[in-house]
Structure 1
């Protein structure tokens, strides 16, 4: 699983989802409103992972606890273990920090443990969030022994059937969708009634 929260650059959300889809991540937990999430850069991969929306970090953490999902922060810091050690603990949801200032204290508080990516050059202090996510997803896939996707020509095969076209929504999202649907149906009913009334008037009835 992958967690998206507080990603500053909109294109990074889409690219994170694309990387998640490439490395076998099946669910993406998005904290916040759907309208605030950009899928730019995902190349349509958001339709091939299960998008689950949460109103806040605490709600998302409660879900992980109930489902026995470990939350792993991708962050350089004290106590973090090298991703090369594969210190994973079963079903895991990964969260990356903000591009500018890293993970916030409230994000770190929900993490069960942390991993970092060793660097071997001194030309930059850190990696872009979707690059960091990609590396960790790849290591997790190796640790979990995911089966490699078949290749056709020079590209990996893509499932022709989207996993979940519309993603998964919170109860609040579903309630809003139902309310909008009722409003549309009521509008259509009124328009139909008005149309019938006009026809009767035109016929002189």
Structure 2
């Protein structure tokens, strides 16, 4: 699919054809780093689920504050990294370019859909915007055009939601079916299902947690041995 190519999509009923369309669509990722407010985390998680984001990639925070997610947290596929460099290496391996959502001289209007394939979207901090480290990690930037002089910028979660919707439209992701005045909500995978039949991302997340617990136990054992040695010296 060429950059900026208009996409056509229509509402699709549940079934294999819609699933096949989703599999063919370029993937999107949400890269969360340096976002400070838990309300924004939760709202971004909700929007990521609504607009077909494949995975939410979280840097630094071991536990994601999900206030405001309205029950979508259990549907989100998350992956954790200790550093932005490690997260970028993973995303690059998935063929994704990192797009910074920022009002920048080099940014293109998101309405022009300057996408060319799988894309990971990263936002700046609510107060100070993107750090130099974040800017250096981005392959390109988009901004959201405004049409009045009433505000200098949009809320982080609002901006992220608008951009994710634009990407879903460009990628021709099939519209999810509606029932009455709402969209149909699929049953979330339960803990037992995730344990007995994990997806690749779920398996990797379980391994990460096991590794973290093992590291914590080793650290506690080392500290305990040092304390015992200190007691022996004093005696």
Tell me if both proteins adopt one fold, taking TM over 0.5 as the criterion: yes
Structure 1 stretches of at least 4 aligned residues deviating more than 2 Å after TM superposition = 161-174, 176-181
Match for residue 142 of structure 1?
169
SS of the residue corresponding to residue 45 of structure 1 reads coil
Q: 1:163 to 1:92 in 2, by over 3 A?
A: farther
Structure 2, gaps ≥5 residues long: 1-28, 196-201, 218-235
1:65 partner SS: helix
* 1:29 pairs with one of 49, 52, 57: 57
SS in 2 for 1:169: helix
Q: 1:68 to 1:25 in 2, by over 3 A?
A: same
CA distance in 2, matches of 1:110, 1:159: 35
- How far did 1:160 drift? 1.1
Q: CA deviation at 1:95?
A: 0.2
| Match of residue 103 from structure 2 | 76
What is the Cα deviation at residue 44 of structure 1?
Answer: 2.0
Q: Give, in whole Å, the separation in 2 of the partners of 1:74 and 1:163.
A: 33
User: CA distance change for structure 1 residues 25 and 163 in 2, over 3 Å: closer, same or farther?
Assistant: farther
Distance 1:163 1:171, change over 3 A: same
Q: Distance in 2 between matches of 1:95 and 1:178?
A: 31
Note if contact 1:71-1:92 (Cα within 8 Å) is conserved in structure 2.
yes
Q: 2:39 aligned with 1:3, yes or no?
A: no
**CA distance in structure 2 between the aligned counterparts of 1:178 and 1:151, rounded to whole angstroms:** 45
1:125 & 1:24 partners in 2: Cα distance? 29
**2:212 matched residue in structure 1:** 176
Q: Does 1:18 align with 2:18?
A: no
Q: CA deviation at 1:10?
A: 1.2
* Corresponding position of 1:38: 65
Out of 115, 123, 127, the residue aligned to residue 150 of structure 2 is: 123
User: How far is 1:178 from its partner?
Assistant: 5.6
Q: How many residues align?
A: 180
Larger Rg: 1
Equivalent residues of 2:57, 2:78 under 8 A apart: yes
What is the alpha-carbon distance in structure 2 between the residues aligned to residue 163 and residue 4 of structure 1? 24
Matches within 5 A, 1:86-165: 86-162=113-189
Kindly report the root-mean-square deviation, in angstroms, between the aligned alpha carbons of the 2 structures.
Answer: 2.1
CA contact 2:74–2:188 (8 Å) conserved in 1: no
Contact 1:18 1:42 survives alignment (8 Å): yes
- Rounded to whole Å, the distance in 2 between the matches of 1:32 and 1:163 is 26
